[in-house]
Structure 1
């Protein structure tokens, strides 16, 4: 069958056309479920559909198989792993071990870890993290207070809700080159100690934090970064977590509150991701040179590439690239202006 367009796949889903089964699958972003085109479930809003050419891609994107049409098949191994995933979903707030999950599937802990990751693209622990985050966001949108939503989602403390998703901060370069196609990105602007700030987020986490002199120029920058995405001005009822993250970051800058470890959804090369992950380890008030960063990531000759990675950082302050200087102690560069870099460093030194 020739390559299918989105419209052709939407029509096949609308008509529940079984002749397309096995040629593609569709996920429903509001339920987190993926189905075969002929699935008899109630039709979803076309805007909420995402299409995949194979089962693995759907699972790695975080969708679980539909119980009604069983797109993943009925073989025993597949069903065992689906049972584990559904157990995690219904007990996301509980502590669980690989031994416990292995018993559900009837396999050893190590085999469960390998098989689960092969099928879903993530470990059982990361799958649980993602379920918790979805529940947290849903609780906020349903009107729960932030603290209540944190504990009802199983995080156990306020600090953990912001830290869970930062373990995997990188998305593929291919996704970035697509210009955010298919993404809905909520954004908001706020005046801060560093001037106007824009923060933007997908349903996975913060994808952009930038600073500038006015809102219009910041919105232009966001549009240039994600030309194919649908940009939506944030309203509290639509993206309450974004408003909370903006407030937390502003309080960090202006009042010295801890830097919020919010979930990130950012794109970069493998090298850039490696640099950004290391930058998260540089403590407030400390600085390092570009050369020192290169040495710490086991690539001492990549000093210039480290500088480029810092300059490509899409989330100012959340990834503290401002803490990296030239070897002679001078400021070097900064994507949002040297004056802002100097101000940040002065504020952090004063708080030590």
Structure 2
């Protein structure tokens, strides 16, 4: 994308609805009904075009009375490393197939080794780990949308369902069929703890971890769990999940994450760190 591409309101609107990372730094858009301004790549709910105003810089938007979005953090400094990291995450989100590390690094102008170090330093996971988290999220979304299990596995990028089924069941904490059915017949224990991003809910079945939810309060994350598994038996079990809670607390922050990384990226990486870190922890 060139500056000419975003020189008009039509070009800017196309960048906004396309969450175009290439337009970041070239303009800011604000939503009159919310009083918030965002980067073009912000993953928040698309606004109505008639409610959108455009500005050249965050300072211009703030001078007009708008506040920065807490999700995409448009007021953050132009850190080239953070920009490359965000761009790599967006490539992974939008890719129909997972690119090799060399291809991904080339897309954002870094060497494979530099990109891998950047992911580990800022997010605490590898590019492969981030891609696995996205794949699992796509599968869960397709199952909840009513897709057949085989279809959902293929669409999420898992390949041959017969080989992926058991690994997916371990990742979901239950079989894909049960997950799609709202947890029918499952007993789920959960605990809510404080963390760097708010309140964190960790939920487990006999197979292992089945849910990680972030929110502002206990009621919010518990409601999220009930909405995901309306047919399961849910039991709060702080004492029984004590070891797991300690493991969560130990992996709650990445010191060099930086203030300018979007919250959706931080949240995805955070959930994957939790899942990876709890792989060896028994639920009690």
Give your verdict on TM over 0.5. Answer: no
TM-score class, shorter:
0.3 to 0.5
Bigger RCO (CA 8 Å, 6+ sep): 2
- TM-score, with structure 1 as normaliser: 0.36
